[in-house]
Amino acid sequence: MIKNIIFDLGNVLLKFKPEEFLLQYTNDEDYIKQFVPKITRSKLWLDLDRGLESLENAERIFVSRYPEEEELISLFFKHWMEMLTPIEENISILLDLSESGYNTYILSNYIKEAFKFVKEKFNFFTLFDGQIISGEENVIKPEKAIYETLLRRYQLIPEESLFIDDVFFFLKPAKKLGISTIWNRPHTDLRKELKKFNISI
Ligand SMILES: [Mg+2]
């Protein structure tokens, strides 16, 4: 029987669509498309996720790396947290789970400054029974250690736990440990998927 529901944050509970967000500031879609991966798919971004680098320092490094793009880099770093907005239909599922007595947790790769920001901004964070945030633990998904840290810290039994993530390969280590998983794709009906595990909400 599932008792614990573990949520990823980005694109499960909070939207993270940098391209879409930056298009508010420019109409040049091709420029945005080449720009965003240079930031969010860089090793430096992973270091941010892992809590090894500060946002302030990362901005400086990106500017020195791509001086011709200083303007967009500054804009991105100044405003990017504003794009972290709740995915309302999934927040309402979280609320229902919590009200029905399920324990809820976060397991997310998230930059620590950004986590602090969203935690202060949105009330739903008070619902969770625990959280493992990569930037605070200095370990990232899909590394086995972060999943083990979650199980150990909150004394969770894998067979009673279900993990929801939008990135398929972040589910694999969880599965290996015996945790059930749901791959939350853009068109996934999360409520329906949860019901397949006899979760009554
Ligand atoms: Mg995600």
Residue 200: the pLDDT is 84
Q: Separation of 68 CA from ligand 1 center, angstroms?
A: 30
Q: Separation of 14 CA from ligand 1 center, angstroms?
A: 8
Inter-residue contact 79 to 59 (CB < 8 Å) = no
Q: Which two tokens stand for residue 56?
A: 């302030």
Residue 201: the pLDDT is 87
Q: Separation of 145 CA from ligand 1 center, angstroms?
A: 18
Q: Which pLDDT band, with edges at 50, 70 and 90, does 160 fall under?
A: very high
Residue 164: the pLDDT is 98
Q: Separation of 196 CA from ligand 1 center, angstroms?
A: 22
Per-domain residue ranges for the chain?
4-15+84-195, 18-82
Q: Separation of 135 CA from ligand 1 center, angstroms?
A: 14
Fold of the domain spanning 4-15+84-195 = Rossmann fold (3.40.50)
Angle at CA of residue 22, ends 49 and 62, nearest 5°? 50
Mean pLDDT of 1-13: 98
Residue 145 has pLDDT above 90, yes or no: yes
Q: Separation of 10 CA from ligand 1 center, angstroms?
A: 4
What radius of gyration do the chain's Cα atoms show?
18
Summarised one tens digit per residue, pLDDT across range 72-93 is 999 999 999 999 999 999 999 9
